Structure 1
Amino acid sequence: MALWKKLLLAGLLLAVVVGAGLSRLRLETDILATLPAELPEVGGLKLLRDAFDGGDDLVIGLEFADAGLAEESMGRLGLHLQTMKGVERVRSAGTFENPEQAGALLAWSLQNGSVERLGAVRERIEGEKVGLYLQEVLERLAGSPDPAEVQRWSYDPLGLLEGLKMEEMASMEDSGFVLASADGAFRVMFVAAEGGVTGYKEAGAWLEGIKVEVAEWLKREGVEAEVFYTGEPAFMAETGSGIEKDMRGTIGATEVLITLLFWVMFRRLVPLLWIQLLLVVVMLLTLSLASLVLGRLSVMSLGFAAIVLGIVVDYAVLILQKSRDHPEMGARDLRRLAAPGIVAGAGTTSVVFLSLLFSGLPGLGELGIMVALGVVTGLLVMVLVMPELVAGREKGRGVKDFGSQKVRHGMAGIVTCLLVTGVTGVLMWKGIPGYATGAEALRPTQSDAMSGWEVVQQRLGKEDRASVPLLVSGTVESIRSRAEETVALLDGLKGEGVLVGHGVPSVLLPDLQAQEGNRSAIEWLVGERERLKASVLEAGFTEESLALFDQVTAGWERDLKGVWPQRMAVGAAAEVVGKVIAPTEDGVVMLGSVTVEGEPGKPDMRRLAEVSERLKAKGFVHLTGWESLGTALAGLVKRDFLRMTLPLAALLAVMLWITFRNWRDMVLSVAVLGLGIAGLMATMALMGVSWNLASLAALPLLMGTGIDYGIHIMLSMAHEKDDVRKVQSTTGKAVFFSGMTTVIGFGSLVFAGNAGIASLGLACCVGTLWILALVLGLLPYWRAWLGRLGG
């Protein structure tokens, strides 16, 4: 069959496969999907986002000139946004001050509160006692110097709040209800999309509409304010568009640099165009296979494309070089000649990247799977197609020599001594790079949504402390006692100086036993409502002072006609309770917080770790949030790093023995790898860079690539009888091209939008450069020198 017919048939088949595959592939913008689901901290973050009312809202922070302008403007802006198409609800500071919601919340808290306290409220206002009680209240109002106390009794003359422990009500302020800064100039607004946002494109379009509307309203009203956008829709839109941008940027940069390198070394236009076309085919097929294997492309697996391009192009160049060396060969013979080395290299590379499945981070595991798929796909495409395109069409021109100057063995020895001394000196001076246990490696490198979230944390928090969420879970029957047990533990930690404070809104938790015990008092208050109201008015109070009592008793009246006891709050109370208490498959979960020394978003990690360990011992309560996630992931990644590295090292050792069958070459391979990794660490130490959750995976990747380069050089040295100059001018050039394309692939990841992928790319890029320089510049001399000693 003619070549054009083969290409046409292959193109049609490719279109069908790629079309079917890409139609199923989706972009996964949820960073939590790239983390191990078995960690309680990850599960807690998912609950924090998905289970609690408002967890997926857009958060808008506005900084005004003063508190008065802020309060007035936020109210009017909220009403305006509520009228927008696509907006389901708007919540801001002051939402909870309306009588209906405040009354419903108080009613729910009282019916789940202390039976003795509510009974005491009833006893104080029974029969004729109500008049005497109201006179005492009036005397308090007249003599109290405390404005807060005066306001309280003015709106609660019958003393319903006496049925609650006020310290429990105050704890709600530390549990997520603060929507304004201490000075009142910074306010936060929560905006929910109608029907929710299901994809990053939809989230981006909806967010852009909100931004335009807010900007136009501020301009129209003549209000000056600095606006920050964060929350789930902002992160979703930013992450999704970032994935697309990174894919285009890394692939484009890698393609350009590889093209320039190819042209400098080979100066052949037609083969270059064929290689570029085949690389596109490899990418499309890899994405199609990913739709079958993974079904998604996450933020941490997006870097596969640049890495695959840097690896697969080597296979094409190897076949091209073989065709130049053997212009008499047909496609079948050329394929037989080139395939063994390509298959061996692809197999080693695939195994190394698949080892990332044991890294502890599913996101890195997905990256490993994607690269392995791309490498195997590239192997098949290049071996099957490339020989058909170049066989018999290339003249034996060879590759331009590096130069004829011969480096002396003595100079190589001096360079080796200086290098070992320098690396050792830097590591002794600066120390081995540490390991950053924070979760920063999982976050975007540049993110307006993350910057907005940090501003919200800083302005709503206090400068010298940091609050971290905690979750308490249990059945409806046990959750109250568990919350009280948690409070007792946290009080102890506060007494020890480990905690600054805590907020556990146990007053809002359902207590079925308390509801049954309080029913009698509640029925009495509802039945005596009109008499009690008349007594209040006769004592001289206004109608406004009865608004809260009316709302509480009206709510109770509705509840008593429905299901009793209530397992969860309903009506207006549910709007508030849903922010901190959510139903689960097994019961309920409550959201609270602990406060430790530090600053907003940056707690004292030592104290936080101590709190986490003490809470975990209970089994039903644990910290959540990004601050505690970093510590949990650090332990998991360290453990899985050994599980990943040790078997891989054993496998590579077996491969080295099978390849060389002598200890000398095995030791040299390990020496190159060890010195290369030591050089990487010295470079990191000088740059002030630490290992993190993602970059630690560079070590097993460098083990694979570094050994491959050394194998090629030492096999060539054995074949050429330790002729250093000849090996450097032939095999050395092929290894140089292969290494530089790998460097280009990893280097393009440095500019990725995800901090972890960027750090992984930087570590792999620097490490590969170190190993490549050692393999090409020193390893041939080491082997020749040891060969003479052995001879």
Structure 2
Amino acid sequence: MKTVFLDAGLWRLMSFSRARPFLVAGFWALMTAFAIWRVVTGISINTDSSDMISPKAPFRVAATEFKAAFPDLGDQVVVVVQSGTPDEASAFTDELAQRLIARDEVSALLAPPSEPFFKENGLLFLSVEELEDLLLRLTNAAPLIERLGPDPTLATLFDALAEAAEQGDSADPETLDALYAQLTEVLTTEDKSLSWETLLSPGEPPEAQVLFSLDPVLDYTKLKPAKAVKEAILQEADAVRSETGLEARVLITGDPVLRTEELEAVSSGTGLALGLSAIFVAILLSFAFRSARLVAATLVTIAVSVILTAGIAVALFGQLNLISVAFAVLMVGLGADFSIHLLIHIRDERAKGVSERAAGYRTSRMIGTALMLTAPTTALAFFSFAPTEFIGMNQLGVIAGFGVMTAFLVAVTLLPAVVKIGDGAKPMAELPEDRLRKIVPPAGLIVGGLGVASLFLLPWARFDADPMALRAKTAPSVIAFDVVVEDEKATPYRLNVLAESEDELLARAERLKAPASVDSVRHLFSFVPEEQDLKLSLIDAASVGLGFALIAGGDVDAEFEPAFARLMVSLRDEQGSRNAEKLRTVLEGMSPAALRAAEPRVFEFWPRQREALQQQLRANYVSVDDVPQVIRDRYVTEDGTYRLEIMPVGGAVELDQRRTFVEEVLEVAPDAAGSARTALSAGDVIGRAMVQASLTAAVLVSLLVLAVTRSFVVLLLLLIPLVLAGSLTTATGTLFGLPYNFANVLVLPLIIGIGIDSGIHLAFRAEKTGDALEAVRGSTGRAVLFSALTTIASFGSLIISDHRGTASMGALLTIGMLWVLATMLFALPPLAQFLYGRRNKISVGKTA
């Protein structure tokens, strides 16, 4: 293996820099200043996960076409209002919605419970059976509604309850029993109000939660476009609480808010990780060099490399993404590698008493080939990301590829120009050879055995294609998103199809109802209720009695003490009702003053419920022209393009359900677009990208190594440990619940790109000395160890990030680099001894 030209190339670079230190230092200072200016004036970050996939991918094409027709739907903000009762949640939503629609940060708002269209026509959207049940319950409650009137008192309620219990015809037993239970809870809980909405609703009680959506006005001139609308919502929610006394928890989610909070998590996590990695790297360098000057010089080269790489990134792409932004932390580890190898070898030579020039020359002869080869091989491994459809991986690969070459040039020119290693360098302690020979071979067998065993776990490795798996669980928008996902009717995992006419819309809607995974299909005409004539006749029939009950003035003659006594008697006579017995026990223990103090909480939401009933009875025939504009804008464009919204059975929360839903819909509508398809298809693209990048990196690196060394032995020495490290990393992630995702999917290609450095240094040293164990024991092994540790320190710091994607990247890369270190230090030397010994035997046989 004749590679003297590479040794000579390194020596010429170092000699040029030593002879012209001011020129070299000035050049890099000028380039660094220019890079800083470029970054400050031009950098931006795109947090949209879907934009990390090539726009030519079929699902991106469908998504782009849909977004062109309905550009605002993808930027909607969803607000979740949670309160103690459905009544309070609805009241709070009414107040909040009225305030928000007047804000400049909101262009449109759709809150169905507060929308007049649904308040008046809501009954028409029930099925005939549901409507009959509700009207029967209200009709049975008509005497109670009539007696309470618009301004009821506890005396009125007590007297009406007693009369209902005595006669059994004022309300059905179920309603009475529920009223007993709620009264008991209100009277024994100071902050609890009675829910009339629950009492008068048939079937399952309504949730004390309301979801509504709004179209935000986003300020794209700022790094966080949704920050203003988020703050507006929170401000108005606080105003509702302080001015009305209503209490509710307000959660905010939706793509713009998720991206804003994700950017905050990534930027804060990456910044902190960058600082920690610098500290950890500095500590490791101090152990490697035992010299503050050398540590400082190396940190300078790292800083220069990171800044220059950032400048290159902005110049090439301008806008980075959540994956490529991690290059800064990545370059801290990579930027140190070349400096560590260079300085450790020069320092060891100086410790032997040779001159500084001679130390540089001997270092170039010793590691010149390896050092000159590691830069292009690592860069090639990163550049292999470029052809993939995964733009996140694509960008990071190109940036890191140029960054590696930059770090190499900075290290081999700036360090010789500014660093002078004096005569006082002391030799570094080395592990005794006999102990090394006792440790490495057995450890190599263990690592090799684990590597082979890990291959059997590869079929269980999985890829988590859900972008939500990247985000911090504690982020408010993620908590809100999880609440939305639990609501099957509001699930974000849905699909959309476009139609150019009403006939096409209705035809496609009919076909899309067929798949078993489809729960319902929504479109503009879905807001025209079915069987309106029958439903209106039912409402008209019920409104005869209910209408009078709702306009009655109520019972103004009831007195508290007689009503209370009458109720106590009727409760005592109730047979088999535990709720009646509990209420009687509570009433016996309360004073009249305490009861009157609880009265406002009993009737807090009664006027609102009474008004809602009056509105519902005013339902009239609905045509498509009556659908509010805020709904029309979401289902039809001005030029007549219709939107068809397809909802999955069960919300498609589980991955298998989502895949079935998407595949079945695509069979009927190949042009379907939406979050359900985006998440699945993106996962498929990224999985292919990982395999493609890994294979491309392996092939390119192999070809370069063969072209330079013309040795299959060296190639095997490099590839076998890397394959073992990759398999061990995947198996470890599988065992410890660290699946591949959008962020950490680039771990395997990175292992090839970074791990190849260690292999090249050890393999070339073993080739030159003929003793792989000596290579591990000497300065090369020490440099490989500290180089790997600094890389681990820089990657490991990402684990502290609140962003789960970034944290998983740090965790899996740390695991990967530990396995790279184990395979290179323990598996490679015995393998080298075997291969070189085998080659020598073959050569001897041929000679004989």
TM-score (norm 1): 0.73
The equivalent residue for 1:536 is none
Give the counterpart letter for 1:377 in structure 2.
T
Residues of 2 paired with 1:29 and 1:245: CA distance? 14
The equivalent residue for 1:455 is 483
The equivalent residue for 2:409 is 380
The equivalent residue for 1:294 is 317
Distance 1:292 1:424, change over 3 A: closer
Give the counterpart letter for 1:499 in structure 2.
S
The equivalent residue for 1:68 is 87
Give the counterpart letter for 2:317 in structure 1.
L
Residues of 1 paired with 2:683 and 2:118: CA distance? 48
Determine whether 1:580 maps to 2:568.
Answer: no
Deviation at 1:248, TM superposition (A): 0.8
Kindly report which structure 2 residues correspond to 1:467-616, keeping only aligned pairs within 5 A, or say none.
468-475=493-500, 477=501, 480-493=502-515, 498-499=516-517, 501-505=519-523, 507=525, 573-582=628-637, 588-597=641-650, 600=651, 602-603=653-654, 605-616=655-666
Residues of 1 paired with 2:496 and 2:664: CA distance? 14
Give the counterpart letter for 1:347 in structure 2.
P
Determine whether 1:630 maps to 2:683.
Answer: no
For the pair shown, the structure with the greater C-alpha radius of gyration is 2
Residues of 2 paired with 1:680 and 1:283: CA distance? 27
1:336-364: CA deviation from partner (whole Å, max 9, x where unpaired):
77876544222111111121223431112
Q: Which runs of 5+ in 2 are unaligned?
A: 1-18, 140-203, 529-546, 552-613, 842-848
Deviation at 1:549, TM superposition (A): 7.5
The equivalent residue for 1:314 is 337
Distance 1:778 1:402, change over 3 A: farther
Residues of 2 paired with 1:270 and 1:610: CA distance? 62
Residues of 2 paired with 1:668 and 1:5: CA distance? 40
Counting matched residue pairs gives: 663
Distance 1:642 1:468, change over 3 A: closer
1:473-531: CA deviation from partner (whole Å, max 9, x where unpaired):
243x4xx33333333333332xxxx2362123252799xxxxxxxxxxxxxxxxxxxxx
Determine helix, strand or coil for the equivalent of 1:303.
Answer: helix
Residues of 1 paired with 2:62 and 2:83: CA distance? 34
Deviation at 1:451, TM superposition (A): 1.9
The equivalent residue for 1:111 is none
Q: Which runs of 5+ in 1 are unaligned?
A: 107-139, 152-180, 511-539, 557-571
Deviation at 1:606, TM superposition (A): 4.0
Determine helix, strand or coil for the equivalent of 1:367.
Answer: helix
The equivalent residue for 1:537 is none
Distance 1:669 1:18, change over 3 A: closer
Is residue 495–residue 672 contact of structure 2 (8 Å, CA) maintained in 1? yes
Deviation at 1:255, TM superposition (A): 0.5
Distance 1:421 1:272, change over 3 A: closer
Determine helix, strand or coil for the equivalent of 1:503.
Answer: strand
The equivalent residue for 2:16 is none
Deviation at 1:403, TM superposition (A): 2.4
Is residue 471–residue 624 contact of structure 1 (8 Å, CA) maintained in 2? yes
The structure 1 residue matched to 2:462, chosen from 435, 444, 447, is 435
Residues of 2 paired with 1:785 and 1:456: CA distance? 60
The equivalent residue for 1:28 is 46
Give the counterpart letter for 2:481 in structure 1.
W
Residues of 2 paired with 1:54 and 1:592: CA distance? 12
The equivalent residue for 1:127 is none
Which gives a bigger RCO, structure 1 or 2 (Cα 8 Å, sep 6+)? Answer: 2
Residues of 2 paired with 1:710 and 1:146: CA distance? 75
Distance 1:426 1:239, change over 3 A: closer
Residues of 1 paired with 2:673 and 2:459: CA distance? 31
Determine helix, strand or coil for the equivalent of 2:649.
Answer: strand
The structure 2 residue matched to 1:187, chosen from 206, 210, 216, is 210
Determine whether 1:404 maps to 2:422.
Answer: no
Determine whether 1:346 maps to 2:362.
Answer: no
Is residue 106–residue 214 contact of structure 2 (8 Å, CA) maintained in 1? yes
Determine whether 1:203 maps to 2:221.
Answer: no
More displaced 10-residue stretch of structure 1: 236-245 or 640-649: 640-649
Is residue 518–residue 648 contact of structure 2 (8 Å, CA) maintained in 1? yes
Determine helix, strand or coil for the equivalent of 1:272.
Answer: helix
The equivalent residue for 2:135 is 147
Give the counterpart letter for 2:285 in structure 1.
F
The equivalent residue for 1:15 is 33
The equivalent residue for 1:257 is 280
Residues of 1 paired with 2:713 and 2:26: CA distance? 51
Residues of 2 paired with 1:596 and 1:222: CA distance? 39
Distance 1:398 1:671, change over 3 A: farther
TM-score (norm 2): 0.69
Determine whether 1:247 maps to 2:297.
Answer: no
Is residue 299–residue 754 contact of structure 1 (8 Å, CA) maintained in 2? no
Distance 1:591 1:274, change over 3 A: farther
1:268-315: CA deviation from partner (whole Å, max 9, x where unpaired):
112322332332232222222222210112112111111111011122
Deviation at 1:47, TM superposition (A): 7.0
